[in-house]
């Protein structure tokens, strides 16, 4: 039986952090595969212009067609990837080609931006911190930007980060109602990228705790914690890095569907992505250093344990040997050479004195090598704390 | 599932992962060398257009010439590199120059794309997972794309990943029959790149197993497993990296033989290659961290073993010494100074009491240093699990 | 109870080195959030031309408006971010748009340069060494350069590095009074970048001390010191790296608000930033090496402790065993085979001689392996030092 | 006395792998220094066109002048750098300027390509494996390509890799006789680059041996082997890397002396250089991993040794203490409290029973911690192998 | 030769390797600060054309003005930075602006090239090996190239590397007298860069010594040596890297003051800088590997020490326990169960036989685990060496 880590149990690592989608080699490009556990695809529409904003839920794909042509901005929000038929008919109504639909439905895909004749496809990854502040859910959100509509497709219907955007539209806060569909797409992506800050905040706290733990009370559980965080940071970096690339692509090249003011806003979004990557790098570096400190602290402890063992053993082993000598049963009667010390008048005190002398010499030897100093210091430090 | 490493025997590492082809320095460029163990080169033709699809096997090179000129798309699939004569006459019929033929026959070569006057040469590496889920076979597939034909040359006749493509042609699934030879070349390459996902999937499972193993039951076999996976990931990266470069070359530069829609499809292929490289990097990083955790866990264990030894030794060594003292045979008759304790009324109880006192002091000393807490905690944790 | 590090206590790491600002995902871009602990925003004006220089403190935003149009150079210095109303009205008077104001007020932001129609926004980070020479305060300074004014906004009203610049203006030292607002902006940024040299100077000294400590008197506190410096260098690099990028941007692209001579001066500033980054890299590398040396020195020490234990144990354990043999109480009377040695005439001396022989053999054994040489050398070194 | 490595003796590392040439600072550029141990410079000419090939040896420089103007391709092969006068007069006849001559004679130089008005200078490094398959000789070969001649200058007259090229010219194999001087220069360089494959082949074998050795029978000699290979790979990379750069330069820029078909051939050469660098990187990575495995395997072994010591000590030390107690000589006659156990009827069996109980408890304790399981497993594995 | 490190005392690391110059933040750009320990600034002129060469020492700045206009090449060599007044008046006469003067006087600065209207400023760092072959002096040399003059300013008057250049001018060796001022500047910089080769040569020897030391006789002093060399290599790289950049700048861009033939010569200089950086990288890599080997060799040694301790302890501890048993004083008279063995006829021989049996079993146990083989091998190896 071995050293168990009850809190770092087997199941912990069997998450979806490093998930990816792939087809059987040779599968026809554009093949769509519905995950059997996915929940059905509700369609929610928020249609608005500067004067009004309407919210309609439970639309059918054919309901959507009517709103496509209206001059107002329409945000079709598809919640869940479970209803194949509905997703296919959406694809037809919105003129989404099969390869695009494949990227939207077969999740997770690597984030990217793709220009299509009348549309811009943005694949993003949203992260939501788990309840206890450890780990996060990762969910793909695909954004399709058309002339005067935005279609978002969310992997998971229950969680998202768009509530504040919905509020801004409903209550006409800021400028969002007076701007076009491209501004809406930007606002949604901006909200997605800001979720990384929320998740990173939990890592800052966990790393600060680890810093104290590693130096003050390093145990075998510390190791598992360092590894877990490192692992999650790698997953976070894998999700945000391609989004930075995608943003950079939109900033560099002039894309017709993105108006100039929105491009300027996207610069802000890009700055955030850069800052997030910066932070992930910094945290990874800190964890690397912490691992070193952890390893060193054990070399340290082992050294101290060894010293204690060595001091005690080295002092008592020779003394025990001497006691052993005079415990021998050589017959003092048959020979004057057989252990005459046993019959000396001062035999026992002389023996004790010799033992004392040896012990004191050894103590002085270790003292001069500085071994006691270390241990005494540690003791004093203990009473301080 | 537990991937077995029965024992880390010598043969395990003598695979072909890091194989490469080279000639004796100064050899004439274009020299072809047939591997004596290679199997003969069967030629299989699949000829199709939108209306029909024919499959012919066991063709001779001269049979091929007839199909070269027909307007239908012809896929000549050469299985095996063992028949020098046939390969040379194929070279003549298809106007493949000597340097190209060298790259096709003298395997393995580094993947690449080369433009030739009437042809495009694509050297790829296909990977097939081994039966038990550990390791993979790597095989070179050379694709030559001409005006209305595709010639593929496979290193190993028995395994490939093209069955689904053949099905799509035979049963006219999707658009493949209505497109040209360039689409076929893309479909084949896409299938080859998707094999990497299949292989990577086995690594995901093996790494997840390792994560638990390293923390819960690290043994010396763990080390061999980490090294084996690292080694195979290096080999995978070496095979996919140049294919990404080759795809990028086709995307950047306009190549006459590749039509515009196929170029767009190749973008999808490129995205997959990027994702594969991403995953390989992520897995390598995780393995590096696991190696650190492995090393630390041993420092940890050694420390704990040392503590047990030190506690037991440090407590009993002084006691044994005292027992040794009173086991000495100094003659109490010749002198009142010789071990008078032996004749005291309370001598033995006092001796036991002294020993008890020393033992308790040392236990308290170690208790205050927190050594027992660690050990007790471990014990409690054991009963938890 | 564990090993405490009294000087590296828990609070030490809970500083703001890796702080960053973020909004709730979905928040309206341009939302300003005043930190409740921030101190109110005093406005100080220094207005000068070649002939005169005036200093006015405690201005209101509307006072500023008058000076905006004057041909003299006006430096509006806003001290503190605590007064939301004043900051908003400043924003209106200076035509600072909401996104700019967000970057200025919601600190800390990543340093950058942004061109706006009539203004140049420069976000910088200033560092001030703490009193005891360990660690530093980091503070955001935002510089807005307009046609003939400079507006600086400081996060913290009490500390800055601009006193020598104020002196140069007041006492008309050098050319600063005869140059425009762009020169002032450069002079301020130059002062901010030079603060990094002051902070780095403290690291040079601390690293030199560490070099001696690691080799001569490495203890468990050393580890904490190495980690602390590494951590602060990471934070420093994170602050200066984007400023180098920002300077490079100004040098590369021709920005209308920056005159040619000032661009030449900024080259000097850029050279300093490069040198600072160079130094941070060099210090990080040195610390990495020191960590290695630290780890090795413990492997070394443990090896030596082990040797002492092994020599003493290996010599005395066999001897103690022999003494134990002759301490047994087999009855020599019932059998001539029962420990006849005890009754031999030379029994005891022979026994001692055998022990001596064993001890000498073992000493010679260890001597030839070179164990004593090492230990003697160490002793000599100690008396030297 | 210390741990000797008989096979890794001091002289092993005093090779020329990291050699380089330099002058006293301030020396006139173009100064030539003949190494006193270099062997004299024989000149061998191979003159050929499509119809004939002549070989002349022991030419004088002035003999060469005649062949320079002839339309046939002339390959002047200078063997050895020991004859200053001859080298200088060659320099005059071939119009080689002083700086070029310096690079040719003062070996070793970094590989490079330099365009001169009528000539192309190619500095290359050739590697030849040593006899026993360990290590390699490195030798500079300078190639000067003129209009219709090639001049090669070899550092070491006795070894080269050009025999197959000479055969191809003599026996008119392939196309070499029908092509110009640029093709000859390519053929020579190609042969030089292929020598790296030959050397790398020896490393592949050595690394495969090391893989088994590290895991199955790691000893202190293993360390020296890993270091030696790493060192030689660094030297190989240093030699091939600049040749890849030089080849790339010729491929990118159009150089008048290189005809278009030869440029195409050089692409093949470049591919080989890239593959060699790939392999060197892969081998270096594998060695890094092996070093980790080596280190871990020792942590492992030390842990196991410690466990054996701890189990044995922990079980017997308390027992020995109890035996020591009842070996004390307290006088049972003077007091009923003095070791009454000695006179009990069941004293000795009870004592043995107590000892047995303690031993069994400890065995169970260690059993439950899994220590015996590990040791038993190791035993089984040993009998397997 | 053995490089001595007598003891690693504190003073060793307090050198100027990582020195840099900085001003108080906010200091006026162009402020000059004379180091109080600097020695006064002697001016030495060497004026030459193809026909003559004159050397004048102890010039005043005003003496210089006369030579500035003459068509001959004038090399003004300023030795030392101690005389502020003289440096300032030089600045006026040579039209050196304040920022340039700051770079020249406030040493050390990062090497760079700056184009000024009539001048080219080159900041270089020269290195001179210290007397005992350990470490080096680093000194800034600023080169100002004008139309027909070169002004060099040396930090330290006593050492330089220009004697061979002075000889070449005086004795009209080579082409230096027939070329312009730009050629002189090149010759000086070339001499400075060649000093790095001289310093690197000492490292090659020291690393070769270390290679043997680490494997054959690693001690704690080895660690200090590795660290010292690593540290000095970092400093060297910091000095040469920016000079390579500066040279590259001159090669890339066409600078009016540099004639075309001199630009060609600078290519040679650039090649040297690249080779130096190559070597520094190679040496750093080798040192990194040596550090690994050093660490491993200690893990190795500790393992062997542990084995010796474990073998001896494990064999003798059980034997000593048995001896302890029969040393107990249970009264054999009161009970037939009390140690009847003591009165058996074959008691003592049976006891010895049991001990022998246990000892032999354990020796066989360790033998089969291969522990003695290792130790025996080590012994055999020792007699070999």
**Looking at residue A13, what is its pLDDT?**
53
Identify the burial level of C12 via C-beta atoms within 10 angstroms of its C-beta, where 0-12 means exposed, 13-18 middle and 19 or more buried.
middle
Q: Write the pLDDT tens digit of every residue in E334-355.
A: 888 888 888 888 888 999 999 9
Q: Which residues of A touch C299 (CB under 8 A)?
A: 299
DSSP structural state of residue D361: H
DSSP structural state of residue E39: P
Give long-range contacts, CB 8 A cutoff, 24+ apart: C353-360: C354/C322, C355/C319, C355/C322, C355/C323, C358/C318, C358/C319, C358/C322, C359/C315, C359/C319
How much of chain E, in percent, has pLDDT values that exceed 70? 92
Q: Write the pLDDT tens digit of every residue in D155-213.
A: 988 888 999 999 999 999 888 999 999 999 999 999 999 999 999 988 988 898 888 88
Same domain? B18 vs B54? yes
For residue D282, give both structure tokens.
Answer: 């892969």
Q: Write the pLDDT tens digit of every residue in E364-377.
A: 988 887 777 655 44
Structural domains counted in chain E: 2
Q: C15: pLDDT confidence band, cut at 50, 70 and 90?
A: low
For residue B286, give the nearest of A110, A231, A305 by CB distance: A231
Q: Name which residue leads in pLDDT, A54 or B28.
A: A54
Q: Is the pLDDT of residue E385 over 50?
A: no
Q: Is B6 contained in some domain?
A: no
Cα–Cα distance measured from residue C339 to residue C325, given in angstroms and rounded to the nearest whole number: 9
What is the pLDDT averaged over residues C305-330? 90
Q: Which residues of B touch D282 (CB under 8 A)?
A: 18, 234-235, 238
- 3-class state of residue A380 by DSSP: helix
Beta carbons of D341 and E330 less than 8 Å apart: yes
Which of C277, C294, C311 is the endpoint of a domain? Answer: C294
What is the pLDDT averaged over residues B337-349? 88
**Looking at residue E168, what is its pLDDT?**
92
Across chain B, mean pLDDT equals 86
For residue C320, give the nearest of A278, A297, A320 by CB distance: A320
**Looking at residue C284, what is its pLDDT?**
93
Q: Write the pLDDT tens digit of every residue in D314-332.
A: 999 999 999 999 988 888 8
Helix axis angle for D181-217 and D163-170, nearest 10°, is 140
**Looking at residue D1, what is its pLDDT?**
28
Q: Is B111 contained in some domain?
A: yes
Q: Write the pLDDT tens digit of every residue in B206-249.
A: 898 888 888 777 777 888 889 889 999 999 999 999 999 999 99
Same domain? E164 vs E246? yes
Q: Which residues of C touch A198 (CB under 8 A)?
A: 22, 24-25
Structural domain span for residue E224: 11-294
Same domain? B128 vs B193? yes
Q: Which residues of C touch A385 (CB under 8 A)?
A: 4, 6
Phi, psi torsion values for D230, nearest 5 degrees:
-55, -45
Q: Is the pLDDT of residue C287 over 60?
A: yes
Q: Is the pLDDT of residue C283 over 80?
A: yes
Longest dimension (CA), chain C: 125
How much of chain D, in percent, has pLDDT values that exceed 70? 92
Cα–Cα distance measured from residue A269 to residue A251, given in angstroms and rounded to the nearest whole number: 10
D4 → chain C, closest CA residue = C369
Buried b (16+ CB within 10 A) or exposed e, D251-276: beeebebbbeebeebbebbbbbbbbb
Q: Is D5 contained in some domain?
A: no
Q: Is B5 contained in some domain?
A: no
A345 → chain B, closest CA residue = B335
Q: D300: pLDDT confidence band, cut at 50, 70 and 90?
A: confident
Q: Is D354 part of the contact surface with chain E (CB cutoff 8 Å)?
A: no
Nearest-neighbour CA in chain D from C317: distance (Å): 12
Instruction: Kindly report the CATH number assigned to the domain that includes residue A357.
Output: 1.20.58.340
Instruction: Kindly report the CATH number assigned to the domain that includes residue C282.
Output: 3.30.460.20
Same domain? C156 vs C187? yes
What is the pLDDT averaged over residues C62-87? 90
Pairing of strands D73-79, D149-154: parallel
Residue of D298, D307, D324, D374 to mutate when probing chain A, most A C-beta within 10 A: D324
Query: What is the C-alpha end-to-end distance of chain B, expressed in Å?
Result: 21
What is the secondary structure of D305-346 as a DSSP string? HHHHHHHHHHHHHHHHHHHHHTT----TTT-TTS-GGGGSTT
**Looking at residue A378, what is its pLDDT?**
44
Q: Write the pLDDT tens digit of every residue in C250-261.
A: 998 788 899 998
Q: Name which residue leads in pLDDT, A14 or D367.
A: D367
Q: Is the pLDDT of residue E4 over 90?
A: no
Q: Is B191 part of the contact surface with chain A (CB cutoff 8 Å)?
A: yes
Which of C270, C294, C318 is the endpoint of a domain? Answer: C294
Same domain? E47 vs E162? yes
Q: Is C296 part of the contact surface with chain A (CB cutoff 8 Å)?
A: no
Q: Is D4 contained in some domain?
A: no
Residues 298 to 317 of D: which have CB under 8 A from any B CB?
A: 299-300, 302-303, 306-307, 309-310, 313-314, 317
**Looking at residue D194, what is its pLDDT?**
92
Same domain? B175 vs B231? yes
Same domain? E265 vs E312? no
Q: Could you tell me which chains touch chain E, where touching means 3 or more CB pairs under 8 A?
A: C, D
For residue D98, give both structure tokens.
Answer: 């002083």
Beta carbons of A328 and C327 less than 8 Å apart: yes
Same domain? C168 vs C305? no
Nearest-neighbour CA in chain D from B54: distance (Å): 38
Q: Which of B58-62, E26-30, E240-244 has the highest mean pLDDT?
A: E240-244
Q: Is E6 contained in some domain?
A: no
Q: Is B2 contained in some domain?
A: no
Residue of C295, C302, C305, C324 to mutate when probing chain D, most D C-beta within 10 A: C324
Question: Strand order of the sheet with strand D53-56?
Answer: D53-56, D42-48, D73-79, D149-154, D136-145, D119-129, D112-116
Taking Cα atoms as reference points, which of D295, E306, D293 lies closest to residue B221? D293
Q: Write the pLDDT tens digit of every residue in B110-139.
A: 999 999 888 999 999 999 988 776 789 899
Q: A234: pLDDT confidence band, cut at 50, 70 and 90?
A: very high
Q: Which residues of D touch B231 (CB under 8 A)?
A: 286, 289
Same domain? C182 vs C247? yes
Nearest-neighbour CA in chain E from D49: distance (Å): 36
**Looking at residue C375, what is its pLDDT?**
54
**Looking at residue A81, what is its pLDDT?**
92
DSSP structural state of residue C259: -
Same domain? B238 vs B358? no
Q: Write the pLDDT tens digit of every residue in E102-130.
A: 999 998 899 999 999 889 999 999 999 88
**Looking at residue D130, what is its pLDDT?**
86
Same domain? A246 vs A100? yes
Beta carbons of B201 and A22 less than 8 Å apart: yes
**Looking at residue D375, what is its pLDDT?**
54
**Looking at residue C12, what is its pLDDT?**
47
D365 → chain A, closest CA residue = A1
Q: Write the pLDDT tens digit of every residue in A331-364.
A: 888 888 888 888 888 888 999 999 999 999 999 9
Q: Is C1 contained in some domain?
A: no
For residue D312, give the nearest of E197, E268, E314 by CB distance: E314
Q: Is D204 part of the contact surface with chain A (CB cutoff 8 Å)?
A: no
What is the secondary structure of B209-270 as a DSSP string? HHHHHHHHH--HHHHHHHHHHHHHHHHHHHHHHHHHHHHHHHHHS--TTS-HHHHHHHHHHH
Least confident of B76-80, C171-175, D212-216, E356-360: D212-216
Q: Name which residue leads in pLDDT, B37 or B44.
A: B44
Q: Is the pLDDT of residue A124 over 80?
A: yes
CA angle C160, C200, C240 (to 5 degrees): 70
What is the secondary structure of B188-203 as a DSSP string? HHHHHHHHHHHHHHHH
Which of A238, A268, A294 is the endpoint of a domain? Answer: A294
**Looking at residue A375, what is its pLDDT?**
54
Nearest-neighbour CA in chain C from D378: distance (Å): 25
Q: Write the pLDDT tens digit of every residue in C75-125.
A: 999 999 989 999 999 999 999 988 889 999 998 899 999 998 889 999 999
Identify the burial level of B377 via C-beta atoms within 10 angstroms of its C-beta, where 0-12 means exposed, 13-18 middle and 19 or more buried.
middle
Are E321 and D319 spatial neighbours (Cβ–Cβ below 8 Å)? Answer: yes
Q: Name which residue leads in pLDDT, A1 or D372.
A: D372
Q: Is E337 part of the contact surface with chain D (CB cutoff 8 Å)?
A: yes
Same domain? B263 vs B319? no
pTM of model > 0.90? no
In terms of residues, how long is chain B? Answer: 385
């Amino acid at each position: 039986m071995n050293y168990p880590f009850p809190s770092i149990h087997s199941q912990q690592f069997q998450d979806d952090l490093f998930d990816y989608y792939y087809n059987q080699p040779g599968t026809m490009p554009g093949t769509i595969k519905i995950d059997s556990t996915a929940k059905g695809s509700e369609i929610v529409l928020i249609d608005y212009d500067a004067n009004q904003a309407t919210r309609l839920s439970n639309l059918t794909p054919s309901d959507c067609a009517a709103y496509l042509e209206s001059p107002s901005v329409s945000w079709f929000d598809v919640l869940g990837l479970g209803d194949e038929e509905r997703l296919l008919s959406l694809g037809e109504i919105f003129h989404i080609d099969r390869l695009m639909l494949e990227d939207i439905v077969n999740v997770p895909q690597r984030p990217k931006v793709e220009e299509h004749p009348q549309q811009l496809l943005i694949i993003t990854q949203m992260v939501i911190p788990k309840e206890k502040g450890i780990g996060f859910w990762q969910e793909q959100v695909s954004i399709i930007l058309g002339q005067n509509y935005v279609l978002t497709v969310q992997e998971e219907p229950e969680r998202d980060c768009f509530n504040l955007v919905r509020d801004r539209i409903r209550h006409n806060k800021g400028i969002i109602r007076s701007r076009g569909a491209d501004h809406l797409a930007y606002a949604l992506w901006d909200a997605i990228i800001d979720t990384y800050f929320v998740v990173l905040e939990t890592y800052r706290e966990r790393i600060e705790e680890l810093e104290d733990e590693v130096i003050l009370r390093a145990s075998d559980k510390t190791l598992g914690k360092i590894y877990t965080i490192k692992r999650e940071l790698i997953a976070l970096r894998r999700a945000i890095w391609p989004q930075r690339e995608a943003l950079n692509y939109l900033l560099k090249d002039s894309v017709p569907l993105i108006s100039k003011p929105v491009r300027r806003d996207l610069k802000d979004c890009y700055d955030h992505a850069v800052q997030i990557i910066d932070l992930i790098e910094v945290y990874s570096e800190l964890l690397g250093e912490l691992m070193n400190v952890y390893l060193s602290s054990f070399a340290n402890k082992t050294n101290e344990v060894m010293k204690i063992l060595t001091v005690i053993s080295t002092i008592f082993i020779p003394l025990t040997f001497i006691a052993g000598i005079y415990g021998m049963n050589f017959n003092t009667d048959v020979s004057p050479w057989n252990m005459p010390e046993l019959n000396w008048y001062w035999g026992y005190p002389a023996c004790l004195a010799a033992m004392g002398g040896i012990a004191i010499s050894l103590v002085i030897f270790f003292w001069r090598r500085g071994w006691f100093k270390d241990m005494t210091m540690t003791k004093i430090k203990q009473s301080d704390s």
